[in-house]
A and B are shown apart, each in its own frame.
Chain A
Amino acid sequence: MSSEAVRRTPAPPTGTYIGMPKFAKNAKVQLADQQLRKNLRKATGTIRAKRVDRVAEVPEWEELRLAGEAIKNRTLRHLDTYLVQLEESLVRNGAKVHWARDAAEANAIVVELVKAKGVDEVVKVKSMATQEIDLNEALEEAGIAAWETDLAELIVQLGHDRPSHILVPAIHRNRSEVREIFLREMKLYGTPAPTDLTDEPVVLAAAARTHLREKFLRAKVAISGANFAIAETGTLVVVESEGNGRMCLTLPDTLISVVGIEKTLPTVADLEVFMRLLPRSSTGERMNPYTSMWNGVTPGDGPQEVHVVLIDNGRTKVLADPDGRAALRCIRCSACLNICPVYERVGGHAYGSVYPGPIGAVLTPQLRGTTSDIDKSLPFASTLCGACFEVCPVRIPIPDMLVHMRHKVADEKRHHVGVEQTAIAVAGWALSSSKHFELVQRVAMLAGRVLPGRTHLGPLPWPAAPWTNARDLPMPPTESFRAWWKRTRGESA
């Protein structure tokens, strides 16, 4: 029997993120997909406009951003203290706390906890941390079916697909694609989609409700992440829209929450800042439909066995770089993805990570290192236009951090002699003094004299090809400014 046949859940695409080629190659593939570009343009355009409206309603928005930045900085700079406090509070609330150094350790802990309950399926609330550690596949290998219950995650899971956005993982799919996936796949994994299913979003949402209801009602174990973990009280917070989170957090007997160590906040009061920043930045709403806050075990209400798995998985490496640390402030709102002109054109899959877009381009190579082709290329997947910083609710200076990561990548290849290093060395020499620069200028001006009458150059061979394949290049003038100044104004400076 093939491994496909014994799977409990739809198989994701083959291959790993780490094995992907560099960003530019992936981007080229994605750019060729006209439907994808149309879907993305429409979706990001919609959400951008909503965010602008909702932010404009808050006159103290900039103050809130500064507060959010400071609270996160305070937490990160004293994370050891807050983690110990968080653990104490969780234990006091009746939760069992587990620590995981990396993805493998976190997955092993969760698999053991689920096995101990004697069940072969779990329901899941959308969680970036569990995506990051690829928990679903670890459970699948242990014979446990993990059902994603967020609508977009369900679309991705049933579509044998990968998420392409932090908040709206199926942003790359339009309604008719969703309809096809539901019709084809739902019947293989539970309550089928109605045969008269239309592509109206409201009808598709209703099909998801029906499909998942039986899974919610019978589930014994649920797995979640958390948006915030309050050190003072041991309160975990899940911010959501559909109610699938409430279902998972409330109905099963056992709840396992996988939480990145950077999700810690010092006090309950800090939520007044983040519960204003997050909904307006992410879905462009004054408030998301549902937020659940729970303190370990509540007797007679909800899961009576509660586990919290605190994961590092590269976060302490990020923390150790004072110039990279700010990436851990991220609250996964996706505003930087939605505003990013690069993301809008290529979508999330080109980034080779569960964290795509501008934040992914800085966070992924920090978490995973810069040894693979994709990770090395991510810091360069940006024009540094700066739009991401403007919308970031916790003021992560993404463009500066991309430059910082580019320096790390360039530094690692310092002893490599390639085209880029040679070009930089030549240009560096040319611009390092005005004498060198003048010499180079005199050579460049020859081009204008060799081809008189031309204003532009058309397609050229490599190395000019990347520029001139689609863009004409203006001809250099016959006289540089410097030469003109010297000729007309003399040598006086």
Chain B
Amino acid sequence: MNAREEILNRVRGALGDVVQPDSAVDVPIPWVYGRPTAMPDILERFVEMTVDYKAVVRRVPAAGVPAAVAEMLVAAGVGSAVLPVGLDEAWCAAIAAAGITVHRDEPPLSNKELNAIDAVVTASAVSIAETGTIVLDHADNQGRRALTLVPDTHLVVVRADQVVSDVPEAVGRLAAAVTGGSPLTWISGGSATSDIELIRVEGVHGPRTLLVVLAE
């Protein structure tokens, strides 16, 4: 018997006491999925929680995004940035106009090339107010996963209508992307560790600086 068959047989043998074949009937789950969490102001909460995770957040009207993106990169001392192929052209133009060296990931940059670039600028898929989390589904305006990982600064643009109250609503919105095969990256602040004396330290392997533009 191969390992697969043997393990499945062991599992079936172990579950002799389970007589109801329908798992949903056998164990009901006392939970209503997808409910929002009540809060006075979702955007306020999102900003508060994201800042709590040491991200720099700027709220701007939608039309002000290109200028805000360029200004925040310059303020952070960024000299070069990689831009995903599907990024809004107006943002790209503003970044280039600010004197930042622009790299496109076409053809794909090597890991070493990425490591030499200061920053990455992306859009995002869904954000979670209660936890200060930004989720990427790596669509064309967010790029492949390595882009938002290797450069030390990540500037991400969040649209107000992409912000939901809490995790259940977010998982609901993201289900289609997952089913469609997209990878997801959930980002809550910059990289951090609590491995030494359980004291939280910001900045390990992921981008140490997270800049957020909230477009309203």
Contact = CB atoms under 8 A, between A and B. Distances in A.
Answer yes or no: do A and B interact.
yes
B197 A242 contact: no
Interface string B1-41: 01110111011111101100001101111110110000000
A312 B2 CA distance: 13
Given A70-B30, A77-B27, A205-B196, A250 B205 contact: no
Given A261-B7, A266-B23, A289 B168 contact: no
B26 A205 contact: no
A24 interface: no
B61 interface: no
A268 B203 contact: no
Contacts of A233: 178-179
A101 B3 contact: yes
Contact of A241 (B28, B184, B194): B194
A79 to B, nearest CB: 5
Interface in B183-201: 183-199, 201
B175 interface: yes
A152 B194 CA distance: 9
B15 A79 contact: yes
B188 A287 contact: yes
A63 B37 CA distance: 14
A298 B181 contact: yes
A465 interface: no
A377 to B, nearest CB: 26
Contacts of B207: 243
Contacts of A204: 196
Nearest to A319: B14
Contacts of B150: 251
A423 interface: no
B106 to A, nearest CB: 11
A209 interface: yes
B9 to A, nearest CB: 9
Given A47-B198, A300-B144, A269 B206 contact: no
A243 B23 contact: no
B23 A168 contact: no
B45 to A, nearest CB: 11
A151 B183 contact: no
B7 A275 contact: no
Nearest to A248: B205
Contacts of A317: 14
A96 to B, nearest CB: 13
A171 interface: yes
A75 B82 CA distance: 43
A291 interface: yes
Interface string B150-179: 100000000000000011101110110011
Interface string A250-280: 1100000000010000101101110110010
Nearest to B4: A99
A80 B13 CA distance: 10
Given A217-B111, A316-B14, A170 B195 contact: yes
Interface of B: 2-4, 6-8, 10-15, 17-18, 23-24, 26-31, 33-34, 49, 53, 108, 111-112, 115, 128, 130-133, 138, 144-146, 149-150, 166-168, 170-172, 174-175, 178-179, 181-199, 201-207
Given A63-B31, A67-B29, A310 B7 contact: yes
Nearest to B13: A320
Interface string A72-95: 011101111111100100000100
Pick the 9 closest A-B CB pairs, nearest first: A243-B206, A67-B31, A243-B205, A320-B14, A287-B131, A301-B144, A316-B10, A152-B195, A291-B186
A201 B185 contact: no
A261 to B, nearest CB: 7
* Most chain B Cβ neighbours within 10 Å, of A39, A149, A283: A283
Contact of B191 (A243, A269, A285, A320): A243
A164 interface: no
Given A246-B149, A271-B167, 19 more contacts: A46-B197, A64-B31, A67-B29, A74-B23, A78-B15, A101-B3, A170-B196, A175-B197, A201-B196, A205-B196, A233-B179, A235-B178, A244-B204, A246-B185, A250-B149, A275-B171, A287-B167, A298-B144, A301-B183
Given A46-B199, A205-B204, A275-B167, A77 B26 contact: yes
A77 B8 contact: no
Nearest to B16: A320
B115 A66 contact: no
A220 to B, nearest CB: 11
A174 B197 CA distance: 6
